[in-house]
Amino acid sequence: MSLDENWFTEIHHGTGSAFSLQVKGKLDEEQSPFQKITIYDTTDWGRFMVIDGCTMVTSRDNFLYHEMMSHPVLFTHENPRHVAIIGGGDCGTLREVLKHPTVEKATQIDIDERVTRLSEVHFPELCESNGDPRAELLFDDGIKWICEAPAASLDVIIVDSTDPIGPGEVLFTPEFYKGCHEALGQRGMVVQQSESPLLHMEIIEKMHRSLRKAGFDDVRTLFFPQPIYPSGWWSATIGRKGGKIEGFREADVEQRPFQTRYYNADIHRGALAQPEFFKQAVAGWG
Residues that bind ligand SAM (CB under 6 A): 56, 65, 86-90, 109-112, 115, 141-143, 160-162, 167-168, 170-171, 193
Q: How far apart are CB 141 and ligand SAM at their closest, in Å?
A: 5
Catalytic member of 160, 163, 217, 218: 160
b/e burial code for range 36-45 (CB count within 10 A of at least 16 → b): ebbbbebeeb
Beta strands in 194-272 (DSSP E): 218-225, 233-240
Beta strands in 122-232 (DSSP E): 135-139, 154-160, 184-193, 218-225
90 vs 182, which CB is nearer to ligand SAM?
A: 90
Please tell me the distance from the alpha carbon of residue 86 to that of residue 264, in angstroms, as a whole number: 24
Of 169, 164, 171, the closest CA to residue 146 belongs to: 171
Q: How far apart are CB 188 and ligand SAM at their closest, in Å?
A: 19
**Three-state helix/strand/coil letters over 24-62:** EEEEEEEECCCCEEEEEEECCCCEEEEECCEEEEECCCH
Distance set, CA 204 to CA 113, 175, 221, 224 (Å): 28, 16, 8, 15
Active site residue 160: yes
38 vs 162, which CB is nearer to ligand SAM?
A: 162
102 vs 260, which CB is nearer to ligand SAM?
A: 260
136 vs 250, which CB is nearer to ligand SAM?
A: 136
**Strand duo 54-58 + 47-51: pairing:** antiparallel
Q: How far apart are CB 231 and ligand SAM at their closest, in Å?
A: 13
67 vs 249, which CB is nearer to ligand SAM?
A: 67
Question: Cα Rg for the chain, rounded, in angstroms?
Answer: 18
Please tell me the distance from the alpha carbon of residue 107 to that of residue 94, in angstroms, as a whole number: 8
Q: How far apart are CB 145 and ligand SAM at their closest, in Å?
A: 8
Q: How far apart are CB 33 and ligand SAM at their closest, in Å?
A: 11
Residues with active-site annotation: 160
